[in-house]
Chains A and B, each alone.
Chain A
Amino acid sequence: MQFLSQLQIGQRAIISAIEAEESLFHRLSALGFRVGKPLRIIRRANFNGPLHVRLGTTDVILRSAEASRIQISALSI
């Protein structure tokens, strides 16, 4: 089991589960975080700052704390 927060920069992955309370879940899904969606990490900010994630046509920034609520399965290519 792997979380979005552990994904390498540039690596692609598919969302396999989202574990979050209702309000966060809502927020994530409104921004495009849904099970089965592909995504990848573009960059991380310094000093354990937020992640810059690309989902389809949307770019989103979020902290690792929130990223660790999102389970993914990394794609090898």
Chain B
Amino acid sequence: MKRIALLGMPNTGKSTLFNRISGASARVGNWPGITVDLMSAKILIGGHIAELIDLPGIYDLHGFSDDEQVVRHFLANNAVDLVIVLLNSSQIDRQLSLVLQIKKLNLPAVLALNMADEAKQSGITIDTNSLAKDLQMPVMQISAKYGDGLPKAIQAATQIINQNNPASDPQLISKLLEDDNQIEHEMESLIQHHVQIPATLTDNTTDKIDQILLHKWFGLPIFFAAMFVLFQFIFTAGKPLQDGLAWLLALVRSSLLEPLFTSSPAWLHGLMLDGIYNGVATVAAFVPIIVLFFLVMSMVEDSGYLSRAAFLMDALMAKMGLDGRGFVMMLMGFGCNVPALMGTRIMRSRPMRLLTMLVIPLSLCSARLQVFIFMITALFTAKQAPIILFSLYVMSFFTMFLTAVLFQGRYKNSEPFILELPPYRFPTARQIILRGWQEVKHFLIRASKFIVIGVVLVWALTNFPSNVPPASIGTFAGQIGALFAPLLDPLGINNQLAIALIFGFVAKEIVVGALAVIYGLQGDALMAQMATQIDWVQAMSFMLFTLIYTPCLSTIATLKSESKSSAFMWLSIAWSLALAWVVSFIFYQSARWLGY
């Protein structure tokens, strides 16, 4: 099988191109010589099946960041038949160095100059034919986003693949990687001969938008207002969808599943309907909101606004020993903590990476969001709901800042903060949907794996031993709850909620499902039942605890693998549990003391 590697600087559109070529067939794989996972896909090219690998975005083959090492190790350990080098046409004046570095390694390569559309708007013209001659490799301009020029690029790649030349020799590459220089000069002369860049770029839309969004005083307020509006939108637009789905799921149960299981033994009826179906259906009802959430997040992420947020927040973050990128990772954590933790790889200084990884698990991820929406809908009015939710987001930021401030002495660093500011881009509908779909797929796989196992376990714990009433104090669940009662009673967290919390340690997606199983109810009936059992102070205390304590097993596993330290992982677990307890305790006791 042929092997094709996709290589380029960060933000040149590599993922966009990869997704376009590979369709939806991508998978994550392991590679010799490197410890991280890379995306790859099997594609058909010129009668050969080839494996296309998406390498991490790098500035330089000789840099020192983790990603740069990954690429070096990949090339020094795996034979490749073709390297597709992807550059941003508008920034060819500095990105060309990467091509020259690849050329020095004698790797068979084609050069794809992406974002041809933007370059054209800015008035940059590139003579691809003459550049190809000088570089001695095919050069074409493409637009990965809109698909222009892609057939020609694939054709050029096919030609090289069809020549059936021997693949690269990893050993040789590894030797060659050790020395080079003089690329500087070669680059200058190539640019001078083949590229024309106007002194000032003709397209200044980004400048105009920046004047407002990066305004000295209004920038930050606008940013937070924008975030508030987005969350408001997700909530308002998602509610009817969620209600509709819940209604449908209840209908399936009453008119299809109930009749189906009427004649089966009581335990099977209970396990299938009160256990699995109730649990899974309650979680499934949240899928519309999660979908909306990821659609909106991927739009914000693609637009270039996040780098602006890094710019606006850096001064504040610096006071806490973090930097603007840390803030962006915190925002990414609102989607899911796991990719946000992996995103800290762009930081070179270990102390800063650790400090950032310590705060990320405190960001209110979409799985916790689902628990909160459930609790809020059950115990608060529609008017209060957005305010409560927003206050939880504020609380999330607060705990992150607090953690950073407290631990910054331990993790001192001197990492330089340098970041590229891309122009604003509006993602196409196709991009948003593809991206959103990938996230949702991921969510569903993770959720279904944990949830089914989780709810079955909860069901067993709340239904055995079978000689006592389900979910009563006599069941295993009741006993576990009683065990933790001395710790959780002062927080207003009762036995049932305690069980949900324990399972929430595995994944927050289980919490709501577990509640459904514990109460043996689903949808509106479950919410109504909860409202009679706990009051808003208890609910809030429960939500605060859920917000702050360890998010899920995947996050813990990622913490350990990314930090390569069990001690750090345990520190993170212990700190979040302690903080969760203290915050809930203070909240619950002072609310009660104030007479609520």
Give A contacts to B, CB under 8 Å.
Answer: 23-24, 26-28, 30-32, 34, 42-43, 45-50, 52, 56-63, 65-66
* Pairs across A and B, CB under 8 Å, 20 listed: A26-B62, A30-B97, A45-B219, A47-B316, A49-B311, A49-B318, A50-B311, A52-B421, A56-B93, A57-B90, A57-B93, A57-B124, A57-B201, A58-B91, A59-B421, A59-B423, A61-B314, A61-B324, A63-B318, A63-B417
Q: Which residues of B contact A57 (CB under 8 A)?
A: 90-91, 93, 122, 124, 197, 201
Tell me if B253 counts as interface (CB < 8 A to partner A): no
Contacting residue for B417 out of A26, A30, A46, A50, CB 8 A: A50
Shortest CB distance B148–A (Å): 20
Also in contact, A46 and B416, with CB within 8 A (given A27-B63, A57-B197, A59-B421): no
How far is B419's CA from A66's CA once the two chains are assembled, in angstroms? 12
Contact at B184–A34, with CB atoms within 8 Å? Answer: yes
B64, B94, B310, B318 interface centre (most CB from chain A within 10 Å): B94
How far is B18's CA from A26's CA once the two chains are assembled, in angstroms? 28
Contacting residue for B416 out of A45, A48, A49, A62, CB 8 A: A62
Q: Which residues of B contact A28 (CB under 8 A)?
A: 418
Shortest CB distance B250–A (Å): 51
B197, B216, B219, B416 interface centre (most CB from chain A within 10 Å): B416
Contact at B315–A48, with CB atoms within 8 Å? Answer: yes
Tell me if B194 counts as interface (CB < 8 A to partner A): no
Tell me if B547 counts as interface (CB < 8 A to partner A): no
13 extra interface residue pairs, beta carbon distance < 8 Å, beyond A27-B416, A63-B314, A66-B417: A23-B63, A27-B63, A32-B91, A45-B315, A46-B216, A47-B316, A49-B318, A50-B417, A52-B214, A52-B421, A57-B201, A61-B314, A62-B419
Give B contacts to A, CB under 8 Å.
Answer: 9, 59-60, 62-64, 90-91, 93-94, 97, 122, 124, 184, 197, 201, 207, 210, 214, 216-217, 219, 307, 310-312, 314-316, 318, 323-324, 348, 416-423
Q: Which residues of B contact A59 (CB under 8 A)?
A: 420-423
Also in contact, A23 and B90, with CB within 8 A (given A30-B59, A59-B420): no
Contact at A45–B312, with CB atoms within 8 Å? Answer: yes
Shortest CB distance B196–A (Å): 12
Q: Which residues of B contact A65 (CB under 8 A)?
A: 416
How far is B416's CA from A65's CA once the two chains are assembled, in angstroms? 8
Also in contact, A50 and B314, with CB within 8 A (given A57-B124, A60-B421): yes
How far is B91's CA from A32's CA once the two chains are assembled, in angstroms? 9
How far is B69's CA from A23's CA once the two chains are assembled, in angstroms? 13
Q: Who on chain A is nearest to B417 by CB? A: A63
Number of A-B contacts defined by CB within 8 Å: 103
How far is B417's CA from A24's CA once the two chains are assembled, in angstroms? 10
Contact at B94–A66, with CB atoms within 8 Å? Answer: no
Q: Who on chain A is nearest to B307 by CB? A: A61
Q: Which residues of A contact B59 (CB under 8 A)?
A: 27, 30-31
How far is B19's CA from A43's CA once the two chains are assembled, in angstroms? 36
How far is B88's CA from A45's CA once the two chains are assembled, in angstroms? 27
A24, A28, A56, A60 interface centre (most CB from chain B within 10 Å): A56
Q: Which residues of A contact B316 (CB under 8 A)?
A: 47
Contact at B348–A52, with CB atoms within 8 Å? Answer: no
Q: Which residues of B contact A49 (CB under 8 A)?
A: 311-312, 314-315, 318
How far is B418's CA from A59's CA once the two chains are assembled, in angstroms? 11
Q: Who on chain B is nearest to A63 by CB? A: B417
Also in contact, A30 and B421, with CB within 8 A (given A57-B90, A61-B324, A62-B416): no
Shortest CB distance A23–B (Å): 5
How far is B78's CA from A67's CA once the two chains are assembled, in angstroms? 39
Contact at B420–A46, with CB atoms within 8 Å? Answer: no
Contact at B63–A32, with CB atoms within 8 Å? Answer: no
How far is B59's CA from A16's CA once the two chains are assembled, in angstroms? 23
Contact at A58–B315, with CB atoms within 8 Å? Answer: no
Contact at B315–A30, with CB atoms within 8 Å? Answer: no
Q: Which residues of B contact A31 (CB under 8 A)?
A: 59, 94, 418, 420
Shortest CB distance A18–B (Å): 12
Also in contact, A45 and B311, with CB within 8 A (given A26-B60, A62-B416): yes
Contacting residue for A32 out of B94, B307, B314, CB 8 A: B94
Shortest CB distance A68–B (Å): 11
Q: Who on chain A is nearest to B211 by CB? A: A43
Q: Who on chain A is nearest to B9 by CB? A: A30
Contacting residue for A45 out of B91, B93, B314, CB 8 A: B314
How far is B417's CA from A50's CA once the two chains are assembled, in angstroms? 8
Q: Which residues of A contact B307 (CB under 8 A)?
A: 61
Q: Which residues of B contact A27 (CB under 8 A)?
A: 59, 63, 416, 418
